[in-house]
Structure 1
Amino acid sequence: MRDAILSIRDRLDGFGVFLSGLCALHCLLGLVLVPLIGLGGGALLSPRVHELGLGLAIAVGLVTLGLSALRHGRLRPALIGACGIALMALALGVGHGAREAVLTIAGVGLVAFAHWQNLRTAA
């Protein structure tokens, strides 16, 4: 049973890294491709996509980073992740645009790094 729980936690950390990358990619594409070539502006820059994606990333980050801290007792990844989650939450409140993208990319970068640290600790 314990091994199954650890496997799920590791998968969630891996999913967290993947989801963080998708968030960063979404922001970068929104800042670069849409203004330059008008590609997918309606769907890609929809505030709803951003809100749902960040909400999911925040939830996965909170659960996984919290479980990992309880498992291995290292608070550093959880604290780094908490800073990233705070930036992501702040991004939800600044409105769609460059400030939001910068906050999101910084936040997901910190969260991805925290997930990566958890995966290294588990190995």
Structure 2
Amino acid sequence: MASTAHSHPTLKFDRLAIGLSGLCLVHCVATTVFVAMVASAGSMLGAPIFHEVGLSLAMLLGAVALGKGVIDHGFMMPSAVGGLGLGVMAGAMTLPHEGGQEAIYTMGGVMILALGHRLNAIAAD
């Protein structure tokens, strides 16, 4: 009996991870806008703790969802793409906070990670 897309555990993790990636993207854009508009709000949202916690959650959820996908469907490509996205996000944390370079690399990493989760969901289906 084929499993439905709504009940497959890998798909649930991937959908959650894609949602988290979207929230990260919104956070990056909002922070950039707030920094430009209101320095105090921007500095609060741009605090390193937000990035450290967000990256930790992304890595944990990515390891679970992408790792489970490899076990379930046996394809490494989604995990490799997602791992690249996480690596870009982690590398972005080493860049200076000023100038927007960190935000640009973080958003790129988030989009690559979301692609990895989408490929994982497609492979599991």
Q: Do they superpose with TM above 0.5?
A: yes
Matched, 1:26 2:27: yes
Partner of 1:113: 115
1:122 to 107, 121, 124: 124
Q: Is the 8 A contact 2:18 2:114 kept in 1?
A: yes
2:106 to 104, 107, 119: 104
Q: Is the 8 A contact 1:84 1:109 kept in 2?
A: yes
Partner of 2:85: 84
Q: Is the 8 A contact 1:58 1:88 kept in 2?
A: no
In structure 2, how many angstroms separate the alpha carbons of the residues matched to 1:83 and 1:10? 20
In structure 2, how many angstroms separate the alpha carbons of the residues matched to 1:118 and 1:25? 22
Number of residue-to-residue matches in the alignment: 119
Which structure shows the higher helix fraction?
A: 1
The alignment yields a C-alpha RMSD, in angstroms, of 1.9
Partner secondary structure for residue 21 of structure 2: helix
TM-score (norm: length of structure 1) = 0.84
In structure 2, how many angstroms separate the alpha carbons of the residues matched to 1:33 and 1:96? 14
Q: Is the 8 A contact 1:10 1:119 kept in 2?
A: yes
In structure 1, how many angstroms separate the alpha carbons of the residues matched to 2:68 and 2:9? 11
**Counterparts in 2 of 1:21-100, with a 5 A limit?**
21-38=22-39, 40-97=41-98, 98-100=100-102
In structure 2, how many angstroms separate the alpha carbons of the residues matched to 1:50 and 1:61? 16
Q: Which runs of no fewer than 5 residues in structure 1 stay unpaired?
A: none
Code of the aligned partner of 1:63? V
In structure 2, how many angstroms separate the alpha carbons of the residues matched to 1:101 and 1:107? 10
Q: Which runs of no fewer than 5 residues in structure 2 stay unpaired?
A: none
| CA deviation string 1:15-61 (max 9, x = no partner) | 11001111111111111233134473243222111110111111111
TM-score (norm: length of structure 2) = 0.83
Partner secondary structure for residue 29 of structure 1: helix
